[in-house]
Amino acid sequence: MNDPVNTLATSASYGQALPQAERHRVLRNTYWLLALSLLPTVLGAWLGVATGITRSLTGGVGLIVFLAGAYGFIFAIEKTKNSGAGVPVLLGFTFFMGLMLSRLIAMVLGFKNGPELVMTAFGGTAGVFFVMASLATVVKRDLSGMSKWLFVGALVLMVGAIINVFIGSTAGMLAISVAAIGIFSAYMLYDLKQIIDGGETNYISATLALYLDLFNVFQSLLSLLGILGGERD
Q: What pLDDT digit, counting tens, does each position of 116-163 carry? A: 999 999 999 999 999 999 999 898 887 878 888 889 989 999 898 888
pLDDT at 168: 78
Task: Name residue 71's amino acid.
Answer: Y
Number of other CB atoms surrounding residue 27 within 10 Å: 20
Which residue, among 128, 122, 121, 145, has the nearest Cα to 194 in the 3D structure? Answer: 145
pLDDT at 12: 37
Which residues fall within 8 angstroms of residue 166, CB to CB, at 6 or more apart? 59, 60
Distance CA 162, CA 144 (A): 28
Number of other CB atoms surrounding residue 15 within 10 Å: 10
For the chain, percent of residues with pLDDT exceeding 90:
55
Helix, strand, coil abundance in the chain, percent, nearest 5: 80, 0, 20
Residues of the chain with pLDDT under 70: 1-18, 59, 233
pTM score, two decimals? Answer: 0.87
Which residue, among 106, 7, 93, has the nearest Cα to 47 in the 3D structure? Answer: 106
pLDDT at 204: 94
